[in-house]
A and B are shown apart, each in its own frame.
Chain A
Amino acid sequence: MATAPKANIVREDLLRVEGVTKIFDGAVKAVDNVSLTVATGEIFALLGGSGCGKSTLLRMLAGFETPTKGRIFLAGEDITDLPPYKRPINMMFQSYALFPHLTVWENIAFGLKRDGMPRDKIAERVEKMLALVQLTKFAQRKPHQLSGGQQQRVALARSLAKRPKLLLLDEPLGALDKKLRETTQLELVNIIEEVGVTCVLVTHDQEEAMTMASRIAVMHEGYFMQVGAPDEVYEMPNSRQVADFIGNVNIFDGVIEEDEADHVTVRSAECMHYVGHGISGHSGMSVGVALRPEKILLSKEKPTGDYNWCAGEVVEMVYFGAHTTYHLKLASGKVIKAQELNNTRDLSYGLTWGDTAYAHWNEHAMVVLTQ
């Protein structure tokens, strides 16, 4: 999607976070020994539910919180103790925090004036930013005279005006309604790439993280569970929690029977799994087999073969328009979800409540989770 220019990135670390921990009130560990590097030009997303520590980490980057332990470096310089107004970092705030008493023009010029830039230079820069976000016509309006989408663009222009080395985005699309969000997402990424600024963004919305970021860190209880490109995190989750947090997943508990270099077989209560890749494990080890609902095919006929299928009763059908999700109750009592594309207008697979259906999948559909 928007991650195409990933290959062109010059790998040069701009931001380096070393073992940062933040403890509130001497007890609550909001961020727990986090380290990360962000390369110049990258869009890095911190993804997690509320209270996972992503906002605290972002606020430490901005300078609103000081780490209890650890250091933060920007372009090789230690900025850990620098107050926010001395950092070459700017932030686009959640729900924008535009100054309500200032016009769009004055909002964008606000940071430039603090730097003591000459007037004509400020005017020039503000005009440029207004053109970038296509708000030239609205320069003299106050924030409340703008729509949500326009406010968001002013906030972006304001945070880019000082040409920060690093741009922080706090839930950049959180205040917009769903339909506006999709178009704005692309617009935002286009502008960021045009300017070429390095970004760290915080979001609780996995779709937003996947479409905008070149790398994602999945955060939970203050630490990183997994860091990787969007497709890596989705297709190769490294733990049950990540698999469960990103998208929908069925997890079969089982034990490794065969452990070969090019494949493994896992026996679970429901069926035998033949996984088409090797893992670092050993036979007899308890593992989880993760299988995404969209990778399951349903049929009324019993599949042939010994592996990767099971039978169940349709207990629930949920229609989403583009696809339908079937809930299948297996003989063991476990309920799995299978998602089928509605690729014809003839809606049903001929399946309905109470029917017996066979779920099957291929050997590359699964991931073995050892933790």
Chain B
Amino acid sequence: MKTPLKSSLRLSEKHATKSPVTMAVSPKMIKWFSQSWMLVVYVFLYMPIVTLVIFSFNDSQLAAVWSHASLRWYAALMKDNDLISAVLLSLKIAFLSALISVFFGTFTAFALNRYKRFQGRTLLSSMASTPLVMPDVIVGLSLLLMLVSLQHWLGYPERGLFTILLGHALLGTAYATVVVTSRLREMDSKLDEAAMDLGCQPFQVFRLVTLPLLVPALVSAFLLTFTLSFDDVVLSSFLSGPGYSTMPMVIFSRARLGLNPTINAVATVTITVVTIAVLASSFYTSRQERNRKREVAQAYSDMNK
């Protein structure tokens, strides 16, 4: 009745008062600028990786001067027993520390999320985030000094696989806590209540409802903590004992001395494995998501038939 009149009045007013905006830059230029900015950043991020891969096929002993293509560094890699045993040790530690991290991370996330108030909650949450904010050198130093004191009192543990594992598990727990917490937070607490309402005791709620829904978060926490452990050099250097060198430790000691073509070959192998894994998993999740969206749409169109 009255409204259309009013709003048309407002429209004309707006057009009258709005000053013409002078366009200093055309949308085309903005687009060109934004695309080249992004391109430059991507080149910056990928240039070192691509260089590593290319030079891993370089025949020259001089790691940064191209002569001609060969696979000699891969052959050298196959015979490099130090490096191979270091890789095996790193894989072992990464796998175990990822398992431990996910286990304790889930506990921590659960305690912090499900119990909103208990004595010392702030202390727990700040302890759980110290490994995230402290530089690696401090985490490594402090853990080592603790383990040395422990060994002084108890005669255990010897420095080696176990102590490296502890360090990585501590760091991993902190990260796993973050991943699981964010999933728990977005999970509907009504689901827990619904389960209880239908007769579940607290632990059954966890086993039958919370845990199955947490699986994707646990998988990504595992992958993240595995990578962190596989990548770490500082904590391992502090915590390892004689005879226990992880892959990053070996690479680090060689890289300190200068350029070394075998490192390029190791890098290429790692990069290939990781890229395939990441691409496969992101392909898988995006397909899941697409299927899900299609099914939701289907459900609504079914109803309207």
A345 cross-chain contacts in B, Cβ below 8 A: none
| Distance A144 CA – B2 CA, assembled complex (angstroms) | 44
| Distance A159 CA – B198 CA, assembled complex (angstroms) | 8
Q: Given A114-B204, A145-B299, do A97 and B196 touch, yes or no (CB 8 Å)?
A: no
Contact mask A341-371 → B, CB, 8 Å, 1/0?
0000000000001000000000000000000
Nearest CB in chain B: distance from A170 CB, A: 9
- Tell whether B292 is near chain A: CB-to-CB under 8 Å: yes
| CB nearest neighbor in A for B213 | A101
Report A293-334 residues with CB < 8 Å from chain B CB.
317-319
- Tell whether B137 is near chain A: CB-to-CB under 8 Å: no
Interface size counted on chain B using CB atoms at 8 A: 27
Which residue of B200, B298, B303 contacts A150 across the interface (Cβ within 8 Å)?
B303
A95 cross-chain contacts in B, Cβ below 8 A: 188, 190
- Tell whether B13 is near chain A: CB-to-CB under 8 Å: no
Q: Are A147 and B197 in contact (CB under 8 A)?
A: no
- Tell whether B243 is near chain A: CB-to-CB under 8 Å: no
Which of B191, B195, B196, B199 has the most chain A CB atoms closer than 10 A to its own CB? B199
| CB nearest neighbor in B for A109 | B198
Q: Are A114 and B199 in contact (CB under 8 A)?
A: yes
A243 cross-chain contacts in B, Cβ below 8 A: none
Instruction: Choose the segment among A82-90, A121-129, A247-255, A259-267 that binds chain B (4+ C-beta atoms closer than 8 Å).
Output: A82-90
- Tell whether A213 is near chain B: CB-to-CB under 8 Å: no
- Tell whether B209 is near chain A: CB-to-CB under 8 Å: yes
Contact mask B181-205 → A, CB, 8 Å, 1/0?
0000000101101111111110010
Contact mask A83-107 → B, CB, 8 Å, 1/0?
1110001110111011111000000
| CB nearest neighbor in B for A347 | B1
Nearest CB in chain A: distance from B217 CB, A: 13
Which residue of A64, A85, A94, A150 contacts B299 across the interface (Cβ within 8 Å)?
A150
Q: Are B194 and A93 in contact (CB under 8 A)?
A: yes
- Tell whether A110 is near chain B: CB-to-CB under 8 Å: yes
Q: Are A62 and B197 in contact (CB under 8 A)?
A: yes
Which of B191, B200, B295, B299 has the most chain A CB atoms closer than 10 A to its own CB? B299
Q: Are A85 and B196 in contact (CB under 8 A)?
A: yes
| CB nearest neighbor in B for A62 | B197
| CB nearest neighbor in A for B301 | A147
- Tell whether B42 is near chain A: CB-to-CB under 8 Å: no
B204 cross-chain contacts in A, Cβ below 8 A: 114
Contact-size category for A: 35 or more
- Tell whether B300 is near chain A: CB-to-CB under 8 Å: yes
Report A108-162 residues with CB < 8 Å from chain B CB.
110-111, 114-115, 141-142, 144-147, 149-150, 158-159, 162
Q: Given A110-B198, A114-B200, do A64 and B295 touch, yes or no (CB 8 Å)?
A: no
Nearest CB in chain A: distance from B102 CB, A: 19
Which residue of A100, A101, A114, A146 contacts B198 across the interface (Cβ within 8 Å)?
A114
Report B276-300 residues with CB < 8 Å from chain A CB.
292, 295-296, 298-300
Q: Are B298 and A145 in contact (CB under 8 A)?
A: yes
Which residue of A111, A147, A159, A317 contacts B302 across the interface (Cβ within 8 Å)?
A147
Which residue of B201, B209, B298 contacts A85 across the interface (Cβ within 8 Å)?
B201
B300 cross-chain contacts in A, Cβ below 8 A: 147
B295 cross-chain contacts in A, Cβ below 8 A: 142, 144-145
Q: Given A85-B199, A145-B299, do A319 and B1 touch, yes or no (CB 8 Å)?
A: yes
Q: Are B303 and A147 in contact (CB under 8 A)?
A: yes
| CB nearest neighbor in A for B294 | A145
Nearest CB in chain A: distance from B36 CB, A: 41
A114 cross-chain contacts in B, Cβ below 8 A: 198-200, 204
- Tell whether B212 is near chain A: CB-to-CB under 8 Å: yes
Q: Are B190 and A144 in contact (CB under 8 A)?
A: no
Q: Given A95-B190, A145-B295, A147-B300, do A100 and B213 touch, yes or no (CB 8 Å)?
A: yes
| Distance A89 CA – B302 CA, assembled complex (angstroms) | 33
Nearest CB in chain A: distance from B303 CB, A: 4
| CB nearest neighbor in B for A83 | B196
Q: Are B191 and A97 in contact (CB under 8 A)?
A: yes
Q: Are B195 and A110 in contact (CB under 8 A)?
A: yes
A318 cross-chain contacts in B, Cβ below 8 A: 1
Q: Which residues of A contact B (CB under 8 A)?
A: 62-64, 83-85, 89-91, 93-95, 97-101, 110-111, 114-115, 141-142, 144-147, 149-150, 158-159, 162, 317-319, 353
Could you list 26 A-B pairs, sorted by A, with CB under 8 Å?
Answer: A63-B197, A64-B193, A64-B196, A84-B193, A84-B196, A85-B199, A91-B194, A93-B194, A94-B190, A95-B190, A97-B191, A98-B194, A99-B194, A101-B213, A110-B195, A110-B198, A110-B208, A114-B200, A141-B299, A144-B299, A145-B298, A146-B299, A149-B303, A158-B198, A319-B1, A353-B2
Q: Which residues of B contact A (CB under 8 A)?
A: 1-2, 188, 190-191, 193-201, 204, 208-209, 212-213, 292, 295-296, 298-300, 302-303
Given contacts A64-B196, A91-B197, 14 further A-B contacts (CB under 8 A): A63-B197, A84-B196, A85-B201, A93-B197, A94-B190, A97-B190, A100-B191, A110-B208, A115-B199, A142-B295, A145-B298, A147-B299, A147-B300, A319-B1
